[in-house]
A = this chain, B = another copy of it.
Amino acid sequence: MFDKYKDECGVFGIFGHPEAANMAYLGLYALQHRGQESAGIISSDGAQLYSHKAMGLVADIFSEDVLKRLPGYAAIGHVRYSTTGGSHLKNAQPFVVDYSRGGIAVAYNGNLVNAGLLRDELEAYGSIFQSSVDTEIIVHLIATSKANTLTDRIADALKQVKGSYSLVFLTETQMVAVRDPNGFRPLALGRLKDAWVVASETCAFDLIEAEYVRDIEPGEMLLLDRFSPKSFRPFDKAPYTPCVFEFIYFARPDSNIFGANVYAVRKNLGRELARENPIKADVVIPVPDSGVPAAIGFAEESSIPFQMGLIRSHYVGRTFIEPKDAIRHFGVKIKLNAVKELLKDKKVVVIDDSIVRGTTSRKIVKMIRDAGAREVHMRISSPPTTCPCFYGIDTPTKKELIASSHTLDEISKYITADTLKYLSVEGLYKAVSDAGASFCDACFTGKYPVAFPAEGREPQLALFK
């Protein structure tokens, strides 16, 4: 599956490195898959913060010139997801402000479920908002804290918020990394010579040759400055419920998150899927890129040959001009093309990671059938997505999720597959057993680990356009 979901973001931080901004740049580059809309880096030379943020891809935003203007031994960075509307520079991160204690910058991955209430309260006390991102709320809460230390102020602020957050803060002299008590989003700690590094995923460590040390723990606040790292536990204990969807779709397969390797878990998902629904077929093909490891696992388990039956184009730009003279399932065609020779007269099993609205799956099934396939069997390496995410994944509303209101048969018919099977929740848990954790599986089960206002997600405040 490609770009069906948009992750909130990727965060990165480094403290104690002579080329901090350069390392942040490379780290963000490795995290680019977590957000392609905008990117930013804030650095500190101990006396002052330096900032550069822009719309676009990391490799386009940061030139040598720009990086030179980001001096210092500490830096944090952020990549943000891409949407068609509501994408404005003012929402780009890291967020950076002046307040009574000096400058502070924040890079945020997650989503607050009580953002609307907090914002209303803050505004009632006279706060002004210049963006529509949750990060601004957190900064307001820090600025109004009466506590004396940075970590206490951050703790004060975060005790008031509910939801998911993996955060990296930077002031002129300190860096703080925090993960919410449930540990929804990943955040790893690494070491690069004398410097400390934090990143959403370990693939960022690999590029800069940092060594993975451990995950920032759920509910942990880690202070990095010129002294030894200092760990704080200011929050009430909560069940550890990392986002299982990071394994299924978001994270890069070469990353390790929540104690397991993403590629390995995805392969397990494919294996379980094959076990649960045995089928005889001529070929197993993935919807690239996210479906590849699951398809390999499925192929291994089922002994059906694996092939790259759909070729993905990697040159897709931001907008694409559709000819008036309509082309069938155009939107999918500019990204995928079927290898007819592999599919002709074949009984095909196609592996995708999930189905959102069903429209893309429908186009993919047709594309495979147009390529001459005799039968098309869709297999999904996760359970039916029935509920929206409120913890940082940009899913559509419940109504738009096809599995929230349609039976398996109805969906199968809609996408015109010969058969359609999802992985069971049990199968999912078997596949992720290496990670040895409970998980947030709310998108499949509707069991939300952190309560939120009865009406569901408050509508995003429409700030000025």
Report which A residues bind B (CB closer than 8 A).
18-19, 22-23, 25-26, 29-30, 32-33, 36, 42, 48-51, 57-60, 62-64, 67, 69, 89, 96-100, 103, 105, 120, 123-130, 139-140, 143-145, 203, 206-209, 252-254, 256, 261, 263-264, 292-293, 296, 300, 305-308, 311, 313-321, 323-325, 327-328, 333-334, 337-342, 461-465
Contacts and interface: CB of A to CB of B under 8 A. Distances in A.
A165 to B, nearest CB: 18
A99 to B, nearest CB: 5
B313 A306 contact: no
Given A209-B327, A209-B328, 14 more contacts: A26-B323, A32-B313, A57-B317, A64-B321, A97-B130, A126-B143, A127-B143, A206-B333, A207-B333, A208-B327, A252-B311, A254-B339, A263-B342, A314-B314
B207 A334 contact: yes
15 contacts: A22-B323, A26-B327, A29-B313, A29-B315, A30-B337, A50-B464, A50-B465, A51-B464, A97-B130, A100-B126, A207-B327, A252-B337, A254-B337, A254-B340, A261-B340
Count copies of this chain in the complex.
4
Contacts of A123: 98-100, 143
A462 B29 CA distance: 30
A98 B140 CA distance: 14
A333 B203 CA distance: 11
A60 B127 CA distance: 34
B315 A59 contact: yes
B324 A69 contact: no
A73 B69 CA distance: 34
Interface of A (DSSP majority class): mixed
A128 B103 contact: no
B57 A315 contact: yes
A463 B96 CA distance: 10
Contact of A316 (B59, B89, B124): B59
Given A296-B306, A333-B207, A463 B98 contact: yes
A409 to B, nearest CB: 31
A139 B97 CA distance: 16
A256 B340 CA distance: 9
A239 B203 CA distance: 51
A263 B129 contact: no
Nearest to A464: B49
Contacts of A49: 464-465
Contact of A296 (B29, B60, B253, B307): B307
A63 B338 contact: no
Nearest to A17: B325
Contacts of A465: 48-51, 69
Nearest to A367: B206
B144 A63 contact: no
B42 A464 contact: yes
Nearest to A209: B327
A103 B337 contact: no
Nearest to A98: B129
B144 A126 contact: yes
Contacts of A307: 263, 296
A305 B303 CA distance: 11
B60 A461 contact: no
Nearest to A327: B209
A317 B59 contact: yes
